[in-house]
Chain A
Amino acid sequence: MHIVVLVKPVPDPASGGERLGADGRLDRTSAPAVVNGNCEYALEAALKLAAASEESEVTLVSMAPASAPETLRKALAMGATRGIHVTDSALAGSCAVSTARVLAAALRPLTFDLLLAGVDTSDGLGGTVPAGVAAHLGLPLLSYAARIEPDEGARTVRVRRISPTGYDLLEAPMPAVISCTQALGEPRYPSLKGIMAARSKEITTRSLADLKIDPSTVGGAVATTAVLDARTPPPRGATEIVRGDAEEGAARIVDLLAQRRII
């Protein structure tokens, strides 16, 4: 099986340093870049599926600034076979519409059985790119996957999609696009052998010219959305700390809830 995984480097959310730049767009230098959390779950799912199938490969595809290969190395160290890095200075500031279009253009020449992506990214939380890419490629979308079961013989794939009451069991022919949730399982740490091997794995660069996309049709200048204003929220106010016995604590909670008309 050939599985492609969309991987996005994002400013490390654990750093707390994310912020917007002067142009109202995310400042990608505001924190060290890491692989987006949900993308790691997608990659882990891909690696497990590849291990269970003969002669499988996992290709990473990432649309990211030029510094991305360092972040992709960790994903390669986890066990992916190769990477494709779509990068072009004209892409800076692209909105989700351009992103989905450019990714689709990079994916179109590839032959794959499954395309996995995280359901959303920590730097946008939009959650619309997987569906957008699937629509561009004319492929079925099985989203919010908690379990993925391909049937290579029948060329179909079944996915458990998280629902409010449990899950829906979806089925579609391959090739298919699957958006992945944390429920698929913890991503592995790269083993030391994986880290050493990753250094010699190939990352191919693709520019807009390679994808035959006119640079003037992407990027911040033609973005479909714009931030008009940004402000920090009003501070919450000082924290009241109550020590003492459990009864005192419980009494204070009840008082506060009553005061704020929650009970």
Chain B
Amino acid sequence: MTEEQRLLRDAVRELADERVAPRAAEVDRAGEFPEDLRQLLAAQDILSLPFPEEHGGLGGELLSVCLAVEQLSRACATTGLILAAHELGALPLLVDGTPEQQARWFPRLASGEWLIAFALTEAEAGSDAAAARTRATRDGDDYVISGSKRFITHGSVADLITVFAVTDPDAPRHRRLSCFVVEVPTEGFSVPRIEHKMGIRGSPTAELAFENVRVPVANRIGDEGDGFGIAMRTFERSRPGIAAQAVGIAQGALEVASRYAAERRQFGQRIGDFQMIAAMLADMDASTEAARQLLYKACVEIDAGAADAGRWSAMCKLVAGDAAMRVTTDAVQVLGGYGYIDDFPVERMMRDAKITQIYEGTQQIQRLVIARALIGKDRAPLGADRAPLGKDRAPLGEDRAPLGEDG
């Protein structure tokens, strides 16, 4: 961590403690997008973290973004997600946008004036993302997009949406999709439904409907057929953001549980001094710290251009998500009855933690990614022209079979 990153972390932490934490319970209770906190993040330049300096951003270092997401999530998982989802939505442009496209959209995304969302998932295409059916048909200088997306974070509050749609239904699975930036509102676009969720209740999770929505060719990111590859490269950089959210949630729960265990007295002593509670707290702390250190290491590796970025990305998300679920569940247990009622935040944190095991690739998908990185696909043995395992592998989207396929 550089000194700048240390300062950044401390500044976001202070902001989170003083301005975000007091709002967290209400955001969860009301189940409404906290527009005031979004404005606060924009005003503090936090939403500019993922973007390059030349467009008004703060440089885009993955570790910097994750430090901010972690500190925000410690106070409120919904607020941490505002930054994480904004980055996710912008990543297709960051990895494959043309200079013209970046210049067109980045300044207002960096300033936080606009939010951008990521729309890949559909009702019938979750883990099997390549099975998406939303269609984009070329018509002169436009594409016409029709179909629907499901479970899209910020789908109802975003100004730009990166939409993945089928441009060639007859192509091989991983070449069917293309990626488009849709500026909303626009004719044919609607939000038929917002989900009622277990956790991150302040974050609007939307169903999006596209009925002959026109977008100019200039809004396509990359070439036709690049969509799946763009999505996979996006996840390499976005999964650490979810890991950061998970680490933050775990840390928040750990702090509440520790404080409680140090003050609550039963049978004439602090409950934290009972061995069973002490052991739980110790395990909570160790697993949170382990998840954190893996996350930071993953960020550094990914930013350095590691060939196995996908493995790092999947690992940190896998470990952090599971840690968050375990730590928050144990936190509720430490508080006992008080942990179950909403006077204390741990029940909310436990409900918030669950999603980190599900979105941006379920834990099961993460495991497939890691195993694939270890032992590769079942194909001809290594030849002289093949790079050894874990190094210099051809990236996904080229000659490698994509995830989720029965290979």
Contacts and interface: CB of A to CB of B under 8 A. Distances in A.
A191 B45 contact: yes
Given A196-B4, A199-B4, A190 B11 contact: yes
Nearest to A73: B7
A195 interface: yes
Q: How large is the interface on B (under 10, 10 to 19, 20 to 34, 35 or more residues)?
A: 10 to 19
Contacts of B14: 189
A212 interface: no
B43 A191 contact: yes
Interface in A157-194: 189-194
B157 interface: no
B58 A193 contact: yes
Nearest to B57: A193
Contacts of A196: 4, 7, 58
A194 B48 CA distance: 13
A158 to B, nearest CB: 29
Nearest to B64: A192
A190 B11 CA distance: 8
B290 to A, nearest CB: 28
Contacts of B8: 192, 195
Interface in B40-78: 43-46, 48-49, 58
A96 B8 CA distance: 36
B58 A189 contact: no
A189 to B, nearest CB: 6
Contacts of A193: 45, 48, 58
B15 interface: yes
Contacts of A194: 45
A195 B7 contact: yes
Contacts of B11: 77, 189-190, 192, 195
Contacts of B12: 192
Contacts of B46: 192
A189 B42 CA distance: 12
B10 to A, nearest CB: 9
Interface in B1-60: 4, 7-8, 11-12, 14-15, 19, 43-46, 48-49, 58
A77 B8 CA distance: 11
B403 to A, nearest CB: 35
Interface string A73-108: 000010000000000000000000000000000000
Contact of A189 (B4, B7, B15, B49): B15
A52 B218 CA distance: 40
B44 to A, nearest CB: 5
A192 B49 contact: yes
A196 B4 CA distance: 7
Interface-centre pick from B11, B46, B48 (highest chain A CB count, 10 A): B11
Contacts of A190: 11
Interface-centre pick from A191, A192, A193, A195 (highest chain B CB count, 10 A): A192
Contacts of B19: 189
Contacts of A189: 11, 14-15, 19, 44
A194 B44 CA distance: 9
Interface in A126-175: none
Interface in B96-128: none
B37 to A, nearest CB: 13
Contacts of B49: 192
Interface in A28-77: 77
A77 B45 CA distance: 13
Contacts of A199: 4, 7
B115 to A, nearest CB: 18
Contacts of B4: 195-196, 199
B308 to A, nearest CB: 31
Interface-centre pick from A190, A191, A194, A199 (highest chain B CB count, 10 A): A191
13 contacts: A189-B11, A189-B15, A189-B44, A192-B8, A192-B12, A192-B45, A192-B49, A195-B4, A195-B7, A196-B7, A196-B58, A199-B4, A199-B7
Given A192-B46, A194-B45, 5 more contacts: A189-B11, A189-B15, A189-B44, A193-B58, A195-B4
The 6 A-B residue pairs with the shortest CB-CB distance, nearest first, are A192-B45, A191-B45, A193-B45, A191-B44, A195-B7, A195-B11
